[in-house]
Structure 1
């Protein structure tokens, strides 16, 4: 992920749902913005105390608030201060999502309940900072697929209900991983030109050229899903990206339109909503059926399927948004070397795009069914131009989406002593045993003398 989604998370963060409120529903009646100096407050007026969770996204900066079992009334368009605009969307499960588009450099300081209202506090660039806070004033649980932090709240929650922040984002160290996937291969030739030129051959040439460019770039580690005329399953391609903890996944193909040979140009696809639902279902099934609950550096819960569903949804939303940004960058570069088939990245349910944690795009570089483009695709020069366009798009993307990893906040290492038990150590740290097990990726509560345990900060 861009992120790498290079992350870890704290378990114990619960999505708080109220059956009574779900039945009664809630209505967002109006939204008001007020600015005082570098601080902008956004007040959401509701007719009942809100159940909610929120998180922040970067590049571009956005604040996202999900209201449980809520519908929107007739809401006027609002903007002001550090807020460029508001977007609302209703989910099928009854959630109302509000997205605040923030000015460059602005940040979400927190969201809190005030009676029946909810108030988001935004700091403009250079304004007061501060970690996100929960509704009760406790520290938020950081759920960060790079630049994504999240918390949830309810009116009247006690301080003890709110988990402490265990992680923060920091600049990634080590190379970022870009997995390059030449489509088809082996017994699967893909589409063909009238001349007999096969898609599997062309995409491998483009992929190798892109690999060479990335390999020569400092701090980037490219990986090919295949480097010869071999067949790799769709699931196998995704698995390679997962095994290498990919920051990006780029699948390369050619298009074909047999009914009209004049159609030409390139574009990049991102995952459709239906594909996202399939991917989420597959990911959650993995948690149910596997002892390994680590995905892209994230250790998910063995006991809380609701939490896993929420986190997967948050990660996937951020991943698809990043993929859309990457697709726009590459399409913009394609425009310098060929016509553009679709300027806006189309959505499709491609299996190779379905890892919820990795920003993934499928690039249809040109049309083999178009005789003129097919002739160009047969040349090393045009293949290199397409590879250069993708390379430049990737580099532009990374400039706007610097990869981040999670680091513990104020934590320390503890050496297990004779007589220590996990329950006693957890009690001394005022956290649950499950939190310690998740931080340290423990599969058993049994400890060994001399074992090192990472402890959360205070």
Structure 2
């Protein structure tokens, strides 16, 4: 005869059994970026997993506990990736093993993302290329005579992060990439200008890396292109934003900044900052950024005035909010909202290639209008304004022990001219700071 305690334990086990149902992999997606490949598995619930690599031949093994595969992995687009094929097999009855057969060695990274917004639980596998191609930029950073003005164009979102969604599944990431490509064409076609794209295809880039790409290219301006949504479908109008150190200038600006800053949570970067997330969230913009922010507001006004000719503007002035992607201490940065993709009429415009071209042209005209007035003295545009006369300006990196008067004597120019060319008040300079040395 079974004892009461044994009966109670049996009942508890029986009642808890339905909750031990394995999670399922409901779908899988893959994106190729310039330096890595990302695979995302959409899950019905959280899972535990492990990964390890094998060689001869190269393989990556992914073991997932208590999971069932409901989606076929045969349709993943493996072209131009280091993955030759994908194999799956059950393991230990309840577990699943996924084997990625590789054509080259990779540096793998995995992370589990908890349900966030309209995104389900996800398992993300990143395969970073072992051999990274290094491209020279601006002749290995050596200043040249009559250099181009460099415009960093940042198409928002991408890959795992689609951005805002409009009618007929119109995706922000597609719209802004199309506008960014049009802007790139215009910039590269104009003598004295060169475009740098932070994102050239449909893949995800962390916000911090977007800023770093612009700084590494020594960009003169960073322009982030977006097309956001709002809860009210009647909200409409394009906008131009600069960074705010103290808070948003309007409730709409605060709302949009919060949405854009959440992009790293969609892409998973917010979970792998290794203790830096708190520091990143509390970045203090020091005094060296005062000049940068002033330039950001000025170029933003020029771009907004130009955009008025082709679009209804949500505000007639540059708004400010705490956009993480704009927090660059030495590159003037603006964020352009080309319209509300949630508004039916504006979504229709943004889906139209002709309208996207007009929007890109308006942004470009605002940029060139700004740089015609404040072109760096060592650029082709500044040289052209001088009528093609005079020696192009040079650059000098401040070393320990340097003073403005000593630098001026060395280059046979006046201290006043150096101050004017670099917007310097007083005599304070920093080691590592790059000065524009005007023509003598």
The two structures have a TM-score, normalised by structure 2, of: 0.46
The two structures have a TM-score, normalised by structure 1, of: 0.44
Give the structure with the larger helix fraction: 2
Higher relative contact order (CA 8 A, sep 6+): 1
Larger-gyration structure (1/2) = 2
